[in-house]
Structure 1
Amino acid sequence: MLSYHVEAFLRVLKVERGISKNTADSYRRDLVSFEKFLARRNVISSEASTELVRSFMASMSVAGIAPTTMSRRLSALRQYFSFLVAEGIRCDDPSESIESPRRGRLLPKVLAENDVETLLSTAHASPGPSGLRLAALVELLYATGLRVSELVGLPLGALARDRSIVTVRGKGGKERIIPLSFPAREAIEAWEEVRPKFLKKRDPNSFWLFPSKSAKEGHLTRGMFARQLKELAIKAEISPSAVSPHVLRHAFATHLLAHDADLRAVQQMLGHSDISTTQIYTHILDERLKSLVYNFHPLANKLVNESLP
Structure 2
Amino acid sequence: MENVMNQPRKRPAWNSGKLVGQKAPLKLKEIWAIRLRLQLAEDVRKLALFDLAIDSKLRACDLVRLHVRDVTHGAQIAPRARVIQRKTRRPVQFEISPSTRDALTAWIASRRLPPDAYLFPSRQHDGAHLSTRQYARIVKGWVRSIGLGEPSYGTHSMRRTKASLIYQRTKNLRAVQLLLGHTKIESTVRYLGVEVDDALIMAEQTDV
Fold-level match, TM-score > 0.5? Answer: yes
Counterpart in the other structure of 1:176: 92
Select the structure that is richer in helix. 1
- TM-score of the superposed pair, with normalisation by structure 2: 0.73
Matched, 1:264 2:174: yes
**SS at the partner of 1:237?**
coil
Compute the displacement of 1:213 (Å).
4.3
Compute the displacement of 1:261 (Å).
5.9
CA RMSD of aligned residues (A): 2.8
Which one is further off, 247-256 or 210-219? 210-219
- Asked whether the equivalents of residues 254 and 284 of structure 1 are also in contact (C-alpha less than 8 Å), the reply is no
Compute the displacement of 1:107 (Å).
5.3
- Comparing both chains, which one has the higher relative contact order based on Cα–Cα distances under 8 Å and sequence gaps of 6 or more? 2
- Asked whether the equivalents of residues 115 and 238 of structure 1 are also in contact (C-alpha less than 8 Å), the reply is no
Compute the displacement of 1:177 (Å).
1.6
Matched, 1:143 2:143: no
- TM-score of the superposed pair, with normalisation by structure 1: 0.51
- Asked whether the equivalents of residues 254 and 282 of structure 1 are also in contact (C-alpha less than 8 Å), the reply is no
Query: Radius of gyration: which is bigger?
Result: 1
Q: Deviations over 1:68-120 (max 9, x none)?
A: xxxxxxxxxxxxxxxxxxxxxxxxxxxxxxxxxxxxxx655222221122122
Counterpart in the other structure of 2:156: 246
**SS at the partner of 1:168?**
strand
Q: Deviations over 1:217-247 (max 9, x none)?
A: 6111111111122122222232333332111
- Asked whether the equivalents of residues 23 and 154 of structure 2 are also in contact (C-alpha less than 8 Å), the reply is no
What is the identity, as a one-letter code, of the residue corresponding to 2:95?
P
Question: What is the rounded CA distance, in whole Å, between the counterparts of 2:84 and 2:91 in structure 1?
Answer: 4
- Asked whether the equivalents of residues 57 and 94 of structure 2 are also in contact (C-alpha less than 8 Å), the reply is no
Counterpart in the other structure of 2:40: 125
Counterpart in the other structure of 2:5: none
**SS at the partner of 1:283?**
coil
- Asked whether the equivalents of residues 120 and 135 of structure 1 are also in contact (C-alpha less than 8 Å), the reply is yes
- Asked whether the equivalents of residues 210 and 220 of structure 1 are also in contact (C-alpha less than 8 Å), the reply is yes
Compute the displacement of 1:133 (Å).
0.9
Aligned pairs for 1:12-23 (under 5 A) are none
Question: What is the rounded CA distance, in whole Å, between the counterparts of 1:228 and 1:125 in structure 2?
Answer: 17
Compute the displacement of 1:195 (Å).
2.3
**Percent identity for Structure 1 against Structure 2:** 25
| Equivalent in 79, 83, 108 of residue 192 of structure 1 | 108
**SS at the partner of 2:58?**
coil
Question: What is the rounded CA distance, in whole Å, between the counterparts of 2:61 and 2:159 in structure 1?
Answer: 12
Name structure 2 gaps, 5 residues minimum: 1-9, 14-20, 202-208
Question: What is the rounded CA distance, in whole Å, between the counterparts of 1:279 and 1:263 in structure 2?
Answer: 7
Counterpart in the other structure of 1:283: 194
- Asked whether the equivalents of residues 111 and 242 of structure 1 are also in contact (C-alpha less than 8 Å), the reply is no
